[in-house]
Structure 1
Amino acid sequence: MTVPVIFNEALRAQRRDRAAGNFAAHDFLYAAMADAMLERLDDVTRAFESALVIGCPDRRLVDALAARGCSVTAADPGARFAQACGGDILREDALPYPPESFDLILCCGTLDTINDLPGALIALRRALRPDGLLLLTIIGAGSLARLKAALLAADGERPAQRIHPQIDVRALGDLLSRAGFTMPVADSDNLDVRYGSIFGLMADLRGMGAAQCLASPPPPLTRAGLSLAAAHFAQAADPDGRTRERFVVLHGSGWAPDPDQPRPARRGSATVSLAEALRPSRATET
């Protein structure tokens, strides 16, 4: 089966490399994802010995797992992020590790820009030992709605795809099950960020390595188009002049099959966690 080419892999890596120099100034989304992963790991009663961390723009996950006694391998699609953590450069759907290399894999914020997401999940499952755990976070459907609307308004009658395609929480649960994970769980969390202008949001996306990396890039906005987008974004502002943008963070988990596990959940049965759904959204200002 031919995998659709949605993302430019070289440009994806280039975006991450360019973000490496000043990532700490734009790390709020990665920090929220990483903290949520560690919180979920706290709920797991078993110990892990060998971990793989994919998505390491800083060392917070690597160091946190090492402090728990894990032997940690770091990896990233971007060379500069990988090198800064002493890790490997990789593609998630073509892992360079033998089967059953790890008993824990954390994949933080990268799988939303991989062409073969089902293949990547299968590769991650194969890299796990029996009864090994995968935790992942990605940006999901519903994210960047204000930015999307502003860009559509700027394009007028000839809209271009300028925001990456996004999957929803139910699709993530189904993909985990199809990839062979047992006890798959998918849920979501909202992170609201308030911006003084569209340009602050765009700067954050560039600064975190999340600028568009589509294989068929849209034509650049003209100066007039950019002004229209900025005006449309500003129209949605709160009374204090700041516009609220939402990042929908999807969390997924699954276990590599093992004969001693409970029977796996029926495919597609992963649902949004009620506790997570009732938890207040976090908000920041930029």
Structure 2
Amino acid sequence: MMFDRTRLASRPRLAEADFLHTFAAREIVERLALVNRRFATGLVTGPLTPAIREVWAEAAVDFTYAGPALADAPDVVADVRLPFRRAFALAISINEIHVADDPVTMLGELRGTLAADGLFLGAVPSAGTLDELADALLVAEAELSDGAAMRVAPFADVRRWGNGLSRAGFALPVADEMRLTVRYDNLAHLLRDIGAMGLKGILAARRPAPRRLFERAEAVYRARYGDPDGRLRATFAFAFLSGWAPDPSQQKPAKRGSATHSLEAALKKLERG
């Protein structure tokens, strides 16, 4: 087991650092507006704060909220395993699938909540997220001890997330990426936000970190990733996911060998033109 998901069930300071979640939620609401279909009801899983709820309200969908933290006041307290089967035409998840030991299983659970031809939209941190912090901690700990522990969780790249959608049984899977740079006055402020999000200490195998590790890591961070005004850059990459619950009415890719014109002939025609 890589992750200790009990951390997600206790995050009383989430509202102090929900800006990344509201960013992901707003992007999904904007993408949903481009879908040529209206959804009366839907399911949302992931963190909840008053600000996040306001974003979801913009979608004009009657959402059922599910999440692991009782303090978030979801309609249903649930984690990984969801007590719904083919109940919704729309399911959304933000910023929690990446800390599942088996993300494909969690994606499969979300697909299972959808009726045939239902839509899933999701957002997950992807490769590149907190690379600066991971590098600074690795360098600092290697200098101060005989080895270095993994202190920042690994993040899958957008291609692996797309493959995960297919493996979970979604039809017409799509994954794309957006990046956001956040600047901090110091390392302590970055770590405070990570803690408020419930992601500090999320790794199941944790090794105590001496204070001098973070002091040295901040010096490395500033030397490598500091801006001229003294602030520290932190990268957050997001993979935005979409897929549909399979249905016979959906478009399907043409069978291999079914083309009636060759690519070579088309290219020659363009050259002559």
Which TM-score band applies after superposition, normalised by the shorter structure?
Answer: 0.7 to 0.9
Distance (whole Å) between structure 1 residues aligned to residue 5 and residue 254 of structure 2 = 34
How many residues align? The count is 251
Task: Give the letter aligned to residue 37 of structure 1.
Answer: I
Distance (whole Å) between structure 2 residues aligned to residue 105 and residue 24 of structure 1 = 23
Give the alignment partner of residue 243 of structure 2, picking from 254, 261, 276. Answer: 254
Cα RMSD for the two superposed structures: 1.9
Query: Could you tell me which residue of structure 1 aligns to residue 83 of structure 2?
Result: 96
Deviation string, structure 1 residues 220-273 (Cα, Å, up to 9, x no partner): 22122221111111212111001111000110000001111111699xxxxxxx
Unmatched 5+ residue regions in structure 2?
256-273
Query: Could you tell me which residue of structure 2 aligns to residue 204 of structure 1?
Result: 193
Deviation string, structure 1 residues 180-227 (Cα, Å, up to 9, x no partner): 11110000100101111111110111122221311111x222122221
Q: Tell me, yes or no, if structure 1 residue 263 matches structure 2 residue 252.
A: yes
TM-score normalized by the length of structure 1: 0.82
Percent identity between matched residues is 36
How many Å apart are 1:137 and its aligned residue?
0.4
Query: Could you tell me which residue of structure 1 aligns to residue 5 of structure 2?
Result: 9
Q: Tell me, yes or no, if structure 1 residue 48 matches structure 2 residue 39.
A: yes
Query: Could you tell me which residue of structure 2 aligns to residue 73 of structure 1?
Result: 64
Deviation string, structure 1 residues 40-72 (Cα, Å, up to 9, x no partner): 101101011220010132245555555655332
Task: Give the letter aligned to residue 243 of structure 1.
Answer: L
Distance (whole Å) between structure 2 residues aligned to residue 45 and residue 155 of structure 1 = 51
Unmatched 5+ residue regions in structure 1?
267-286
Q: How do 1:1-286 residues align onto structure 2 when only pairs under 5 Å count?
A: 5-13=1-9, 17-18=10-11, 20=12, 22-59=13-50, 62=53, 68-81=59-72, 83=73, 86-92=74-80, 94-97=81-84, 99-156=85-142, 157-217=146-206, 219-235=207-223, 236-263=225-252
Structure whose CA Rg is larger = 2
C-alpha distance 151-220 of structure 1, shift in aligned 2 (>3 A):
same
Runs (4+) off by over 4 Å: 59-69
TM-score normalized by the length of structure 2: 0.86
Distance (whole Å) between structure 1 residues aligned to residue 167 and residue 254 of structure 2 = 12
